[in-house]
Chains A and B, each alone.
Chain A
Amino acid sequence: MKTEIIGIISTYALTVILAIPLAKYIAKVFKGENTWSDFMRPIERLFFKLSGINPNQEMNWKQFLKAMLTINMVWFVLGFLLLLFQGGLPLNPDGNPNQSPDLAFNTIISFMVNCDLQHYSGETGVTYLTQLFVICNLMFLSAATGISALVALMNALKAKTTNNLGNFWDIFVKANTRILLPLCVVVATILIFNGTPASYTGKDSIVTLQGDSVHVSRGPAAGMIAIKHIGTNGGGWFGANSAHPLENPNYLTNVVQLIAQVLIPIAMIFAFGYYINRKKLSYVIYGIMTIGMLCLVIPTIISEINGSPAIEKLGVAQPTGAMEGKEVRFGPAMSGYWSTVTTIISTGSVNSMHDSAMPMSGMMQMLGMMINSFYGGCGVGILNYFIYIIIAVFISGLMVGRTPEFMGHKVEAREVKIAALITLLSPLLILAGTALASYTLVNYPEATWAIKPASWLNNPGYHGFSEMLYEYTSSNANNGSGFEGLGDNNIFWNISTGFVLILGRFLPIIGPVAIAGLLANKKHIPESAGTLKYDSLTFGVMTMAVIIIINALSYFPALALGPIAEYLSLK
């Protein structure tokens, strides 16, 4: 047990040690300073030349968002078509079929928005072509979209008064060539040497010790598994995701994948401080986010190590903790750590089955996704946190008797309106989605869909409710993990989560960038003794209080009917 905990602590420590130099490098890249990666410059220039883009053109927040949304729209259409007709296209050695329209709709949105909710299984649902050119491609592009939005925010906060948030295309290309690509090369190489496949041949056949013949799926997987974590995407090459022996062969690859997924989210926090020259602010943000993470990870690990009270009541000893749905090579503690990490940032890859996790762990996973900003996804984690900051700035500004201001810009009705709407969005999407599903389940159990509502849930009662709640929470947070007990490949879930995904992605990007753009446009007010220090610990605590209160108030009743009821009945 002790070794397991040491493993977790050293994994986390290694992540932070690596994140700090990476943060300095990221800040340098976006400041336009010279770095070792300048050898990529000719390639970047080639992109701009071919597409006729001027990478030096200044953009205001509206132009920036327009460019970002346009390119996302293009991928949506292209990817949708490729998935619909993948069966007849090349690079399909296993002869996998076309996706149904509703599944293709869900899949393309899900990858475009960095969520990777997979309502299909990688071995049979997609071909090598779509894996590479739709899924793997979008894994890079969606991560870069998130990073670009954050850079726009940083540009707005850096200047005293500005209209210029930078050039979307320039930032976007650099995010790919200078950050995501080099990191992926490193991670993929480690994975290949540990046995993850990287080949274009189709299924292999082996004969097991028992004499059964088994088909084993393969493919150019290592590269995709690298970006799946580096870009906080989470969609697996194989259906079982990182619990699959080829996707995550051993403890070392497990550690590497764990580090890879939190690396950019943590580095971005420090890069934020370095870039806008407010290191103390980034330390406070990092501190608050880390405390938040610990509040989620500690109860999870404890409840996983202690095992199930139901089994205990049977008088069965559980020396290794709760092992249902876990891989023996990782153990319950490391799986618990992974399940928290993957839900607080928006990865959503799994190395154990979350459906089997203890009710307490399930609740922590859901809370991680509801809050969605304890580190959070690539770039977007800080954007989400920024919304909480704006609310905290407003309330605490009033509490100290001054018109609220953040970094020298007054926070007024317009900014509060946007922040309030974004805060409102998550409960709306999560609760309304779950309510719609509950309603359908109760009133139309026999609807003639691919899976009828009565058979959606693997488990009745509280846990079944958690399965539905988890699915929408994961969609809204663009996380992509699932309580896999849910029969979700049918028109109801594909379409409804599709809409939750797209709203839950773009509005929380548009909102913060718009607020930052509006703030940057205002006159800069110099700091005085009466100004609230937003990089103080006190303000950090205030932000934490806002995060806890808003989320507790929004989700307490729903959680009470799901994991809390389950936890209390199991106790």
Chain B
Amino acid sequence: MKRQRKAQLFESSSVKEALKQSFIKLNPRIMVKNPVMFTVELGTVVMLIVTIFAAFSADKTQGSVVYNFIVFLILFVTVLFANFAEAIAEARGKAQAESLRKTREETPAKRMISENGRVETVSSSFLRKGDIFICEPGDIIPTDGEIIEGLATIDESAITGESAPVIREAGGDKSSVTGGTKVLSDRIKVEVTTQPGESFLDKMIALVEGASRQKTPNEIALTILLASFTLVFIIVCVTLKLFADYANTPITIAAFISLFVCLIPTTIGGLLSAIGIAGMDRALRANVIAKSGKAVETAGDIDVLLLDKTGTITIGNRKATAFWPAKGEDEKAMIECSVLSSLADETPEGKSIVELAGLNGAVSKHVENAEYIKFTAETRSSGVNLADGRRIRKGAFDSIRNIVTAAGNDVPFEVEDRVKTIASNGGTPLVVCKNEQVMGVIELQDIIKPGISERFDRLRKMGIKTVMVTGDNPLTAKYIAEKAGVDDFIAEAKPEDKMLYIKKEQAEGKLVAMMGDGTNDAPALAQADVGVAMNSGTQAAKEAGNMVDLDNDPTKLIEVVEIGKQLLMTRGTLTTFSIANDVAKYFAIVPALFMASIPALQSLNIMKLTSPESAILSAIIFNAIIIPMLIPLALKGVAYKPIGASALLRRNLLIYGLGGIVVPFIGIKLIDVVITMFL
């Protein structure tokens, strides 16, 4: 059962916190980081002064106290709305972080103080990197570490939301444990891998809360553009004062500031940081922890996606489906050898061979004093040396061929044929040999995940090339690649092949994403532009990647790419919307400014707003309320549709560009109708 992560957009606790933060963020030192909203804050202060001045002075050229006060109030609310948008995004992140932090509370740790196993109980915060602690069933693991001894089942639901326990054991790729998870069975000895406050969980909390959020490159570029628009409007408003003097038209300060605030891109300015935080938050809701906002953004730009075949493209593992003895070899003997070589083979493939042999009636014998040869990526074969002198090996065709031919024996012709037939049908042939003589071929078959080719299709439409990485021979790989619909594949892949492939693509200017879990994936994860490590992976892999997937779901990359794209799109579309809004605001305010002294300009009042005051108030009220109205969109993100870049641009231009021009005309008119009733 997954933990409920689909929280509502506005939870009451978040809203309360956000409201408080909206006021705290009024501090100019915080506001100045957002140049657009900072200028609005300055305008608000000026309006406050004007209101006070109007209240205590006989000079009525600046309009009535009430009018000035209303303008002040609306501007103040505009700033609050913008702060609220940022605060609500942060609060949502905080709520997430809070649930994580609960696991972070001081837990007692059983620290080993001497080699003979003496243990003292200390608080988790006293654990330093390099310390060793013991965990027994029922214990909460106090901090991140690497198992150096033992094997245990662990409940990681606090971190991943996945309630099924996982197995962690010393050595290999599944040795890392995360602070806050619970040991269910067995005893493990763990070495601390991080300093206090720097653990994976700590980093995660800081990121989610926005504390260590840095502006991404695209966000910086957009801020520059928005700042320059703001400057243009400062120029427009300041010079307008002198133009008005020439035209003998007195314009009130309230009108000037209203015009200015309406024109500058407050909508996007107010929502910009909320969009960024929400992007990280969306990634977290997909159970992906990005180490930086930049990583999420980069994910949207990915050109090439490296995916492991097993578990991503095919369901779990291959299964043995048939034994094909070589000509002249006894079927039973061949099966026996296959079973013997697989007895110590704990991989699902190995087990499936034993299973299949059982179905075929062959009984595995008890073996004594056998020496098991482990599978390595280099030899690509495994096997057993029996006490009676039989040396049995099984492995990929070429590795067995090497063994056989090295001993001066031949590989039977029909075995080679069989291997090719199996491979071209998408199966995996495993060749078995005894004393450097080929015994036969075991056929393993892959099953492609349903729906996976549709996902690849979607990726292709996004412009992303998918590459399948597999240890299979080229023929098998090609068959599966075609069947699953991937664009390219790396067959018989050794760990360094991934690295080479990534470097080659990057040299052509492409951005590459990959997913990995093992220690030998770490260099490639670091080299890739987006490296997603599985949470079940080794500490090394997690350190090397720039994202961690808590669900250990290899197809998660696709979601991450979409989140990255959504992030950029939301910024782009809201910028367009914000700027397009200005057209209507001009038609509301400019006639209002000059209606009295230049009656001809009345024809520009195409919305037929009641009076100059109502026109100005309607425009700034619209400007203020559009911010909270767009908060849900900023938090959820603009939907991404893989319909090609030009079609997507057309769509978004129509909705947010044309919509941005039309909506305020309607909105301002409606507000004008309403406030006319009160004026």
Contacts and interface: CB of A to CB of B under 8 A. Distances in A.
B345 interface: no
A53 interface: no
Contact of A412 (B217, B568, B571, B601): B217
Given A395-B576, A421-B228, A400 B649 contact: yes
Given A526-B509, A529-B463, A560-B601, A432 B235 contact: yes
B571 A553 contact: no
Contact of A528 (B465, B567, B569): B465
Contacts of B407: none
A556 B243 CA distance: 13
B590 A560 contact: yes
B297 interface: yes
Interface in B126-153: none
Interface stretch (A83-91, A287-295, A436-444): A436-444
Interface residues of A, number: 65
Contacts of A571: 600
A451 interface: no
B594 interface: yes
A411 B301 CA distance: 13
A552 B648 CA distance: 26
Interface string B544-575: 00000000000000000000111111011101
A303 B395 CA distance: 87
B568 A434 contact: no
A564 B239 contact: no
A434 B567 CA distance: 41
A416 B576 contact: no
Nearest to B564: A401
Contact of A435 (B238, B594, B600, B646): B238
A174 B238 CA distance: 46
Contacts of B300: 401-403
Residue from A439, A526, A560 with most neighbouring chain B CB atoms (10 Å): A560
Contact of B646 (A411, A438, A526, A532): A532
Contact of A561 (B586, B594, B649): B594
Interface string B454-470: 00000011111100000
Residue from B224, B240, B573 with most neighbouring chain A CB atoms (10 Å): B224
A417 B220 CA distance: 10
Nearest to B300: A401
B576 A533 contact: no
Interface stretch (B379-387, B436-444, B577-585): B577-585
B604 interface: yes
A424 B225 contact: no
B33 interface: no
Given A403-B301, A553-B582, A556-B590, A394 B225 contact: yes
Interface string A521-553: 001111011111100101101100100010011
A487 to B, nearest CB: 16
Given A402-B645, A541-B653, A528 B303 contact: yes
A8 interface: no
A561 B247 contact: yes
B236 A538 contact: no
Contacts of B218: 398, 403-404, 412
B246 interface: yes
Interface in A257-307: none
Residue from A432, A561, A564 with most neighbouring chain B CB atoms (10 Å): A561
Contact of B235 (A400, A431, A438, A569): A431
Contacts of A50: none
Interface string B461-491: 1111100000000000000000000000000
Interface class of chain A by DSSP: helix
A416 B247 contact: no
Contacts of B573: 398-399
Given A395-B575, A528-B463, A536-B646, A564 B604 contact: yes
B245 interface: yes
A397 interface: yes
Nearest to B661: A549
Interface in B627-657: 640, 644-646, 648-650, 652-653, 656-657
A526 B576 contact: no
A186 to B, nearest CB: 42
A413 interface: yes
B228 A545 contact: no
A317 B1 CA distance: 87
Contacts of A557: 236, 240, 243, 586, 590
B461 A402 contact: no
A568 B602 CA distance: 9
Interface string B588-600: 0010001000101
Given A525-B510, A554-B236, A538 B565 contact: no
Given A529-B460, A556-B586, A400 B236 contact: no
Contacts of A441: 246
Residue from B220, B575, B649 with most neighbouring chain A CB atoms (10 Å): B649
Contacts of B564: 401
B221 interface: yes
A396 interface: yes
B263 interface: yes
A451 B569 CA distance: 56
A434 B646 contact: no
Residue from A400, A532, A560, A564 with most neighbouring chain B CB atoms (10 Å): A400
Interface in B595-632: 598, 600-601, 603-604
A45 B664 CA distance: 63
Contacts of B644: 529
Nearest to B249: A561
A554 B229 CA distance: 9
B650 A538 contact: yes
A428 B235 contact: yes
B417 interface: no
B239 A442 contact: no
B564 to A, nearest CB: 7
B255 to A, nearest CB: 12
Contacts of A65: none
Given A401-B648, A432-B239, A549 B463 contact: no
Nearest to B599: A569
B274 to A, nearest CB: 16
Contacts of A434: 239, 243
A81 interface: no
B232 interface: yes
A277 to B, nearest CB: 19
A443 B580 CA distance: 37
Contacts of B583: 549, 552-553
Contacts of A462: 247
B579 A549 contact: yes
A435 B224 contact: no
Contacts of B464: 528, 530
Interface string A502-530: 00000000000000000000011110111
A427 interface: yes
A408 interface: yes
A11 interface: no
Contacts of A529: 460-463, 644-645
A427 B603 contact: no
A491 interface: no
Given A423-B228, A438-B242, A441-B246, 14 more contacts: A399-B569, A399-B649, A400-B569, A402-B565, A420-B224, A428-B232, A435-B242, A439-B245, A529-B461, A533-B646, A538-B649, A549-B580, A557-B243, A558-B240
Interface of A: 391, 394-404, 408, 411-413, 416-417, 420-421, 423-424, 427-428, 431-432, 434-436, 438-439, 441-442, 462, 465, 523-526, 528-533, 536, 538-539, 541-542, 545, 549, 552-554, 556-558, 560-561, 564-565, 568-569, 571
11 contacts: A395-B575, A424-B228, A435-B239, A532-B645, A542-B649, A553-B263, A556-B586, A557-B236, A558-B236, A558-B239, A558-B240
Closest 6 CB pairs of A and B: A530-B463, A398-B572, A401-B565, A528-B463, A420-B228, A529-B463
